Amino acid sequence: MKTISKGIILSVLTMALASCNAFTPKPTVTPPPTQTSLPTFTNTPEPTATLTDTPVPPTETPSIPVLPMPSGKPLSSWEGIPVMPDAIAGGGDSTSYFFTINASSEEVQKFYEKELAKLGWNFFASGQGKTDAVLLFFMKDASTLTISIIPQPDGVMYVLLVK
């Protein structure tokens, strides 16, 4: 039994010495927290308003859009839609046609309301923009037609038909 107890004591001593061995990993040292310096405040002067005697100009009314003027001979009708008889010039393709005319916006609108009603088109809606441009909507069966009436600086009306 003495041999067994000596063996146990020797095993415990071996384990104790092994745990204190130079080959066992050392715990890592936690570095002390560093201090961050506080920002320094600087006194930057704010810009000051300079009063002038110059009045502030009034806001402008939106300008009339200047569109490229057609130069071709106007058609009498486009895609079954009449073109106003006194049209100055015109041009377009299978999806839209535009022309210019010396007439008021009201005259153009009345012409199309009257002539398109004869062809079965129903006046649907209209709107007017800040530049006095007028947009008319017509419907016939499943088709729609828009007519834009846009005043130009030289007093002519630019009329755009879109099917």
Query: How much is the pLDDT for 110?
Result: 97
**pTM summary value:** 0.60
Question: Tell me: the pLDDT tens digits for 89-125?
Answer: 999 999 999 999 999 999 999 999 999 999 999 999 9
In a domain, 148, yes or no: yes
Query: Is residue 152 a part of any domain in this protein?
Result: yes
Domain contains 5: no
In a domain, 30, yes or no: no
DSSP 78: E
What is the C-alpha to C-alpha distance for residues 103 and 137, in angstroms, rounded to an integer?
Answer: 20
| Angstrom distance (rounded) from CA 34 to CA 79 | 83
Q: What's the first-to-final CA gap in the chain, in angstroms?
A: 115
Domain range enclosing 133:
77-162
